[in-house]
Chains A and B, each alone.
Chain A
């Protein structure tokens, strides 16, 4: 559906987006993740045709964004960052204007507007002036606009920013529903959002694409940097000597000793084999292993780890 090829955006000699390439298939929900200023919005703006890339190309279903901009724009429902709206129009007037711009035939407009108002639950403010609506409603008005022409692709730039927790949950739920028959690209710097909604994640940092994979990949790729907690019913020295013999353990940190049990926290880049090897080693040495926990790496850690490293390959290696 989307084919981004070697996209570059320069401002002066600073590269805001640097040689980014990826593809998105029909029906995917892709989370565009990165700290503020990573180049997420700039990339999305180049996909929607608002900004021209300095180099590279974007294709949507084979149409080039730069050559065939109008056709491409008709395929996209776009909610820009900060959700800009005309403050002085009424919600319905705004949607009528947008519907006319998007070429929805006059006869179909009222029906279509009613449909998006209902889908986004903004019917109750349809006749209010946009400027007087709460932030949550405004966000949903923006979303209604994106849905208006029923485009195959939705691009949502930070759709939940500034909403209260209830509204955030509601918006995420709505996006998830939309994903049933739309391809969605969603940008955010909130990790749980990606975990809650997206099937795939792209991590952008300083204009470069550092990670492209599923949320599960993200966890798995980083379990390499994971930890194992264990408690051995033995004296500290004996236990430590036994653990040190386990292959794949790079670091042993002693935590505490009490009730005859010594507890340690192991750094194990090896991943899943370590707990098993540890169990066998303890059994062989006849030291009862009374506690064994694998610490799951949180998405926050994964994200920080990726954005503070040079490349994702290192992480995934």
Chain B
């Protein structure tokens, strides 16, 4: 655990040493702030729906997914690829630390960064509460969705980063996998065959996020995200192990 925390801490530190960190965080906050204000403006129009702005913010727009698909690979792309390229993986893998601890430390670091990027959005809820009563239940389940979907996406990014020695290639591979995952959501809407529609509903992340944002926690969707996380973490571990045979 000591090694896991040390690795996570080092990743957080290194992330903020790169200009990329500030570009990602700043553009994320600027764009989300803009989207949030657009949602508020639209809902303030007379005759508009009575939907909760936070519900639309988390699940209702494609912007949420565009950020998620772009941000997760940027947070994770350095983690393994940079170590391989610079050769520091050798010092890491010859330290008295198990490969599981290496994967766990890197992943924990990525999760912490991801959390730090989302943290300021809590202000939106606080701003809303100044002007109208806020139903906090769906806001918290919305954040639960942000956490579990984020866990899934970061695990994908960690795997591709261990699978490549080039950060950009790692990011593009992760991007490809994430686009595919979201395509499944679109397919589930388009599918007409009841069997396939049923199958695709299990892997419908967009629909899952809409449910979370409305305050509905469906255990099947939680299980899907968590098992996806587990699968890609296991793949990341395998990709790291493969270095010992190379």
Contact = CB atoms under 8 A, between A and B. Distances in A.
Interface of A: 45, 48-52, 70-71, 73-74, 76, 78, 80, 82, 84-89, 93, 97-98, 100-103, 145
Interface string B93-106: 11111100000000
Contacts of B9: 97
B112 to A, nearest CB: 16
A73 B94 contact: yes
Contact of A101 (B6, B13, B245): B6
A88 B18 contact: yes
A113 to B, nearest CB: 14
A116 to B, nearest CB: 15
B86 interface: yes
Nearest to A100: B6
A73 B95 CA distance: 6
A80 B90 contact: yes
Interface string B40-51: 000000000000
B61 interface: no
Contacts of B5: 100
A206 B231 CA distance: 41
B91 A51 contact: no
- Report the 10 A-B pairs with minimum CB-CB distance, sorted nearest first: A84-B87, A100-B6, A74-B96, A88-B17, A101-B95, A73-B96, A84-B88, A48-B94, A80-B90, A97-B10
B2 interface: yes
Contact of B13 (A50, A74, A93): A93
Interface in B20-42: none
Contacts of B90: 45, 50, 80, 84
12 contacts: A50-B90, A50-B244, A52-B245, A70-B96, A70-B98, A86-B10, A89-B13, A97-B6, A101-B7, A101-B96, A101-B97, A103-B3
Given A49-B94, A71-B96, A97-B9, 11 more contacts: A51-B244, A52-B245, A70-B96, A73-B96, A74-B96, A85-B88, A87-B86, A89-B14, A93-B13, A101-B6, A102-B95
B2 A80 contact: no
B3 A101 contact: yes
Contacts of A52: 244-245
Nearest to B87: A84
A66 to B, nearest CB: 10
Contacts of A98: 91, 95
Contacts of B7: 101
Contacts of A101: 3, 6-7, 92, 95-97
Interface string B69-90: 0000000000000000011111
A98 B92 CA distance: 9
B87 to A, nearest CB: 3
Contacts of B18: 88
Given A52-B244, A86-B14, A76 B86 contact: no
